[in-house]
């Protein structure tokens, strides 16, 4: 097997990055894709900057040793804003990060009022402030840390009813409704699972924006630029770290995204 046949690996603290893998597969169907849910360190969003950097560096080292990827997607806003530049300096493979889609939100907005829903760490990180300064200096940006939503998607997505999903989205969206936003940036990959519920709660006048399209475009560009287009397709696989997790829950996520269950990394 050549280097071109090696996998593109997606990582997140949990299942948040799976929609990014799905869109990548739709655009690059012949690529070998691997997903790693870092359940051992879930969630990232409430940890310190140094903790997150150490966790991600150790995880990447393990992935390189065990999987030997040709490219890694940090499919987590928190990990990307905190550690992406460090990873690029430390490791000799391409990385693609996921950061809040502030620039597209500005382009979509008519009234200059934008909402950003993310983890506490992403909301507070200077990188996010820099994005706002660079791309939304003329706009009003309402930031809100939807901490409970991450846990809800990770642990209760398959167990909750539509009414329960609508309830948590309504609670998380009240500040945005009061602020009269017309664009909402989903600055945490977990929130994409609830995008249809956001649309129900916020209405058709609010554009719901995430980073999937831009990330997939960058993945495709890097694979082609580095001459790493695949020759031999294998089964896409889901791995998880640690041992303290509800196996049936994560197997259901793996099945939902048509991934082979690889078990613990």
CA-CA distance, 215 to 192, in Å (whole number)? Answer: 14
Average pLDDT value over all residues in the chain: 94
Portion of the chain with pLDDT greater than 70, in percent: 97
Per the annotation, the verdict on 139 as an active-site residue is: no
Q: Which of 227, 153, 244, 226 is nearest to 195 (CA)?
A: 153
Domains of the chain, residue spans: 3-98+212-264, 102-209
The pLDDT value given to residue 2: 55
Element (H, E) at 175: helix 162-178
The pLDDT value given to residue 243: 92
DSSP symbols for 99-142: ---HHHHHHH-SSSEEEEEE-HHHHH-HHHHHHHHHH-TTSEEE
What CATH code would you report for 3-98+212-264?
Answer: 3.40.50.1860
Portion of the chain with pLDDT greater than 90, in percent: 91
The pLDDT value given to residue 4: 62
DSSP symbols for 16-61: TTHHHHHHHHHHSTTS-EEEEE-GGG--STTS-HHHHHHHHHHHHH
pLDDT reading at 231 higher than 70? no
pTM (whole model) above 0.85: yes
The pLDDT value given to residue 232: 72
Taking residues 138-166, report their average pLDDT.
95
Are 3-98+212-264 and 102-209 equal in CATH topology?
yes
Are the CB atoms for 45 and 188 separated by under 8 Å?
yes
pLDDT band at 147 (very low <50, low <70, confident <90, very high): confident
Catalytic residue selected from 56, 71, 76, 145: 76
Tens-digit pLDDT profile for residues 11-58: 999 999 999 999 999 999 989 999 999 999 999 998 999 999 999 999
Per the annotation, the verdict on 76 as an active-site residue is: yes
Q: Which of 39, 28, 33 is nearest to 76 (CA)?
A: 39
CA-CA distance, 152 to 168, in Å (whole number)? Answer: 9
pLDDT reading at 227 higher than 60? yes
CATH topology of domain 102-209: Rossmann fold (3.40.50)
Look at residue 169 and give its three-state secondary structure. Answer: helix
Catalytic residue selected from 60, 87, 102, 188: 188
Tens-digit pLDDT profile for residues 61-120: 999 999 999 999 999 999 999 999 999 999 999 999 999 999 999 999 999 999 999 999
The pLDDT value given to residue 1: 46
CA-CA distance, 118 to 113, in Å (whole number)? Answer: 17
CA-CA distance, 120 to 227, in Å (whole number)? Answer: 38
């Amino acid at each position: 097997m050549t280097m071109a046949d090696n996998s593109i690996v997606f990582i997140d603290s949990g299942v948040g990055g799976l929609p990014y893998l799905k869109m990548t597969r739709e655009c690059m169907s012949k690529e070998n894709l691997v997903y790693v849910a870092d359940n051992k360190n879930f969630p990232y969003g409430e940890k310190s900057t140094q903790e997150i950097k150490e966790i991600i560096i150790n995880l990447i080292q393990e992935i390189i040793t065990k999987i030997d990827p040709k490219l890694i997607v940090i499919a987590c806003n928190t990990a990307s804003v905190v550690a992406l530049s460090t990873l690029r300096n430390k490791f000799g493979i391409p990385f693609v990060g996921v950061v809040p889609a502030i620039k597209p939100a500005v382009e979509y907005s008519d009234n200059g009022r934008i909402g950003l829903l993310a983890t506490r760490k992403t909301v507070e990180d200077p990188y996010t402030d820099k994005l706002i300064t660079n791309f939304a200096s003329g706009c009003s940006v309402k930031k809100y840390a939807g901490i409970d939503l991450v846990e809800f998607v990770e642990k209760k997505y398959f167990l909750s009813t539509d009414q329960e999903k609508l309830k948590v989205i309504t609670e998380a969206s009240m500040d945005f409704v009061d602020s009269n936003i017309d664009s909402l940036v989903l600055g945490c990959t977990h929130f994409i699972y609830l995008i249809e519920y956001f649309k129900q709660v916020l209405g058709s006048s609010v554009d719901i924006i995430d980073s999937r399209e831009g990330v997939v475009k960058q993945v495709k560009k890097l694979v082609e630029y580095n001459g790493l287009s695949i020759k031999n397709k294998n089964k896409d696989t889901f791995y998880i770290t640690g041992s303290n997790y509800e196996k049936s829950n994560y197997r259901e996520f793996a099945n939902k995204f048509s991934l082979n269950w690889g078990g613990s990394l």
